[in-house]
Amino acid sequence: MQKIKVIIWGFGAMGSGMAKMLLKKKGVEIVGVCDRNEKRVGKSMFEVLGVENKDHNEVIINSDIESVMGTKPDIALVATDSFTEKTFPKLKQLLENKINVISTAEEMAYPKAQNPELSKKLDEIAKENNVSVLGTGINPGLIMDLLVVCLTGCMTDVEHIEAERVNSLSPFGAAVMEEQGVGITVDEFEKGVKDGTLAGHVGFKESINMIGDAIGWPVEKFEQQMKPIVTNVDRKSPYGFAKAGNVAGVNMTGQGYVDGEVKIDMKHPQQIEPEMEGTHTGDYIRIKGTPEVNMSIKPEVEGGLGTIAMCVNMIPHVINAPSGLKTMIDLPVPRAIMGDMRELIRK
């Protein structure tokens, strides 16, 4: 079997990280990269990554997705947007060219939660072209939803779910810094929350609805709250900066109601360089029921690497999947791929 051909659309922190991971894997080859950053376009992918070419074919970063699609890839990794509506035209274009797709867009992890009509369209387009599309990442995609669902599998009854992720935003790129309000003033933060221009964490509604649908809890109402995390010291990450007195991140909370009660609680404080002020990261899942389940991972699963790995490790499962729009509760559980990726392909 030929190597699995992959193209990457978006070569920022996530896209370039996926490329580095793919270059270390067996049975897979990057055949094209599309990016709009003028500093990267026209350059060798290997030069931008700062790695040796070795025995890989040369890849020149191109701003024209049509040319990149001309390499006849098996799958595209799209790392450009957070919202289904914004990424929809890109996904549509790829699917209509009979290319399987994995998207990092947070809303795409469970797009019917907020965009049922676009979800239906994506499903129809994918089926018409006999390909599949999946949205995934570390969160949503694993830590606060799929992992929760898996843990309920050992329970005879579930009464209440709490998922908490205390994480660092430092590994993420400029788009995430903007979404979280990193570096802005408190007044600007409050204005952004009020007028809806500040996204904060994207994915609570997706995670809550994924959990609810998976275990049979019809979520009738969703609420979320955003509060600024203000830093007392200057903090700098690779893609963000917050001076003392400004916003270093956002404290997100969310609730899913079932039968008039809060059944699913989400807690997600995230900021750049949290250790600078004594905050230690971690992932926690607490499920009341029979038997009770309490899980903790300390420190957190690193968000940047986790998202990169989730997208790359799901490649064979998306290629194998029946055509259509898929979510993480539709496909086999993610796992690291340490052997030849071609051995996992069934088609």
Tell whether the model's pLDDT for residue 109 goes beyond 90: yes
Instruction: Give me the pLDDT at residue 347, please.
Output: 66
The region that residue 10 occupies, defined by phi over 0 for left and psi between -120 and 50 for alpha, beta otherwise, is: left
- pLDDT at 168 exceeding the cut of 90: yes
User: What pLDDT score does 208 carry?
Assistant: 98
| Mean pLDDT of the chain, nearest integer | 96
* 277 token code pair: 């002020």
Q: Is the pLDDT reported for residue 85 higher than 90?
A: yes
Distance of alpha carbon 347 from alpha carbon 333, whole angstroms: 19
Q: State whether residue 34 is helix, strand or coil.
A: strand
Average pLDDT over residues 189-204: 91
* Burial class of residue 299 in the structure, from the number of CB atoms within 10 Å of its CB (0-12 exposed, 13-18 middle, 19+ buried): middle
Asked whether the bond before 269 is cis by omega within 30 degrees of 0, the reply is no
Q: How far apart are CA 169 and CA 13, in angstroms?
A: 12
Q: Is the CB of residue 235 less than 8 Å from the CB of residue 183? A: no
| Res. 254: pLDDT tops 70 | yes
Q: Return the pLDDT at 132.
A: 98
Give the pLDDT mean for 164-185: 90
Sign of dihedral through CA atoms 294, 285, 326, 80? negative
Is the pLDDT assigned to residue 267 strictly greater than 90?
yes
**pTM: predicted TM-score of the whole model, two decimal places:** 0.93
**Residue 257: pLDDT over 80:** yes
Which residue carries 């959990």 as its tokens? 211
Query: DSSP letter string over 221-274?
Result: EEEEEEEEEE-SS-EE-SS-EE-TTSEEEEEEEEEEEETTEEEEEEEEEEESSG
Task: For residues 173 and 334, give the distance between their C-alpha atoms in angstroms, rounded to a whole number.
Answer: 24
Per-residue pLDDT band for 171 (boundaries 50, 70, 90) equals: confident
Which tokens belong to 293? 């389940």
What whole-number distance in Å separates Cα of residue 98 and Cα of residue 132? 9
Residue 165 pairs with which residues in a beta bridge? 283
Model pLDDT for residues 136-156, shown as the tens digit of each residue: 999 999 999 999 999 999 999
Nearest CA among 110, 172, 190 for reference residue 300: 172
pLDDT digits (tens, 9 = 90+) for 313-347: 999 999 999 999 999 999 999 999 999 999 999 96
Q: How far apart are CA 36 and CA 302, in angstroms?
A: 27
- Among 280, 221, 228, which residue's Cα sits nearest to residue 254? 221
Our separate counts of H helices and E strands in the chain read 11, 14
pLDDT tens per residue across span 280-298: 999 999 999 999 999 999 9
Is the pLDDT assigned to residue 175 strictly greater than 80? no
Dihedrals phi, psi of 271, to nearest 5 degrees: -160, 160
Closest residue by Cα to residue 3 from 46, 57, 62, 58: 57
For the segment 27-71, what is each residue's pLDDT rounded down to a tens digit?
999 999 999 999 999 999 999 999 998 889 999 999 999 999 999
The phi and psi torsions of 274 (rounded to 5 degrees) equal -60, -30
Give helix 303-313 / helix 13-22 axis angle, nearest 10°. Answer: 50
For the chain, give the percent of residues with pLDDT over 70: 100
Using the predicted structure, report yes or no on whether residue 129 has a pLDDT greater than 80: yes
CA-based radius of gyration for the chain = 20
Give me the mean pLDDT over the 202-206 stretch. Answer: 95
**pLDDT by residue (tens digit) across 217-250?**
999 999 999 999 999 999 999 999 999 999 999 9
- Does residue 114 have a pLDDT over 90? yes
**pLDDT band at 200, cuts 50/70/90?**
confident
Distance CA 266, CA 285 (A): 10
